[in-house]
Amino acid sequence: MTRNQFKVTRRDALLTAAGAAAGVALGAPMASPALAAAPMLGALRPQVYRFTLGEFEVTTISDGAVQLDGPHPIFGNNRPAEEVQNYAAAHALPTTRHEISFAPTVVNTGSELILFDTGNGAARREAGAGHLRELLSAAGYQPGQFDVVVITHGHPDHIGGLIEDGEPAFANARYVVGETEHQAWKTGEGIPEGRRENQQMYNQVVVPLEEKMTFLQPEGEVVSGIRAVDAFGHSPGQLAFHVESGGERVLLWADVANHYILAVHKPEWHLSFDHDKEAAVTTRQRIFDMVATDKIPAIGYHMPFPAVGYLDTYDGGYRWVPASYQLHL
Ligand SMILES: [Zn+2]
């Protein structure tokens, strides 16, 4: 702010005097000529967020969000509708519509640029998602700069951005995918009927990139400092990732939890999207316990943007505590 903005002009002074003389109450709007009307711009959400982690830089980018009916029976699939609706209402959430947002994450190790998940791609652009590609430049990156693209699991909102206009969207990247996950989607073994379209998509979008792919087991490394963590359940072989540099760490938990209240407070509630619902519950409890006990930050693909936070124990489950300045000190 410059000093000029505080300068009182002779005209302002006269107007003030006139207002006072007319008995205008303090704080009432002053009569002043209207400026040109500013256009209405519509809702605007935060889209890019970056923090440093030791020697690394970690950036979350919003791929957008879609609105769906629910939350029940998507969330609390094994609970009565009324219980889920009451719980939502008690936590300031609408009971008949909800939103799912998407946060692909970039890790720059200083020597390699790594993208975790690719968003929805063109297929959901009309619906409000698929914006990773256009927002990369706002984050300071170009698609051709990526050395590695990691796919946490094979669902459409994670693989949809791999191909753009029929070409690989990250032309110079190699790919890292979980071995169990890849085999399940490639062969269709154990994939339920309701996921057939998803399986076809995986075979169209991911399998053609096999030549440039490395397959990981839990505990396997993407690069030095980035290690896979077993997160099976939501999908046949989902992987979470520990990212560690200079003694600091963060856990990218992918889709271990798909809602910051309904899945985090109630890890035992089933999610209709979960492949093996009981395994997903066990995984949620194990990962949440680790994040809460170790007091480490987590990045959740479907947590509210910027999708970085911590966990406290709460109400028999856990509570998502959005990161504020902890990672900037
Ligand atoms: Zn997802």
Residue-wise pLDDT tens digits, 294-317:
999 999 999 999 999 999 999 999
Protein residues within 5 Å, CB atom, of ion ligand 1:
157, 255
Q: 206: Cβ–Cβ under 8 A, 6 or more apart, which residues?
A: 151, 154, 159, 162, 175, 177, 182, 185
Distance 31 CA to ligand 1 centre (A): 53
CA gap 26, 200 in Å, rounded: 68
- Least-confidence region, from 13-27, 151-165, 310-324: 13-27
Max distance between CA atoms of the chain, in angstroms, equals 84
Q: Mean pLDDT across the stretch 192-200?
A: 97
Q: Residue 8: what pLDDT?
A: 45
- Mean pLDDT (whole number) for 39-63: 97
More confident residue, 36 or 290: 290
Identity of the amino acid at 322: P
Query: How many whole angstroms from 114 Cα to the centroid of ligand 1?
Result: 19
29-33, 97-101, 185-189: segment of lowest average pLDDT: 29-33
Mean predicted confidence (pLDDT) in 38-64: 97
Please report the pLDDT score of residue 6 as a whole number: 42
pLDDT for 32 equals: 76
| Contact call for residues 298 and 250 (beta carbons, < 8 A) | yes
- In the predicted structure, residue 56 carries a pLDDT above the cut 70: yes
Tens digit of pLDDT for each residue in 227-286? 999 999 999 999 999 999 999 999 999 999 999 999 999 999 999 999 999 999 999 999
Residue corresponding to tokens 């994670």: 158
Residue 189 has pLDDT above 80, yes or no: yes
The mean pLDDT of 96-116, rounded to a whole number, is 98
Q: How remote is the CA of residue 26 from the centroid of ligand 1, in Å?
A: 53
pLDDT band at 13, cuts 50/70/90? very low
Percent over 90 (pLDDT), the chain: 88
pLDDT at 37: 87
The H or E element that residue 188 is part of is none
pLDDT band, very low/low/confident/very high, at 225 (cuts 50, 70, 90)? very high
Measured from the Cβ of residue 42, the count of other Cβ atoms closer than 10 Å reads: 5
The alpha carbon of 34 and the centre of ligand 1 are apart by a number of angstroms equal to 48
DSSP secondary structure of 222-248: EETTEEEEE-TTSSTT-EEEEEEETTE
111: CA distance to ligand 1 center in Å? 28
> What is the structure's pLDDT at 10?
46
The pLDDT-based confidence of 7 (bands split at 50, 70, 90) is very low
Distance 86 CA to ligand 1 centre (A): 25
> 278 by DSSP, 3-state: which?
helix
Whether the ω angle into residue 306 lies within 30 degrees of 0, i.e. cis, is yes
Q: Which helix (H) or strand (E) holds 293?
A: helix 277-294
Q: Are 81 and 96 a contacting pair, CB within 8 Å?
A: no
Per-residue pLDDT band for 26 (boundaries 50, 70, 90) equals: low
183 CB burial (10 A radius; 0-12, 13-18, 19+) = middle
Q: Work out the pLDDT band at 192, boundaries 50, 70, 90.
A: very high
pTM of the predicted model as reported, rounded to 2 decimal places: 0.89
Q: How far apart are CA 205 and CA 161, in angstroms?
A: 9
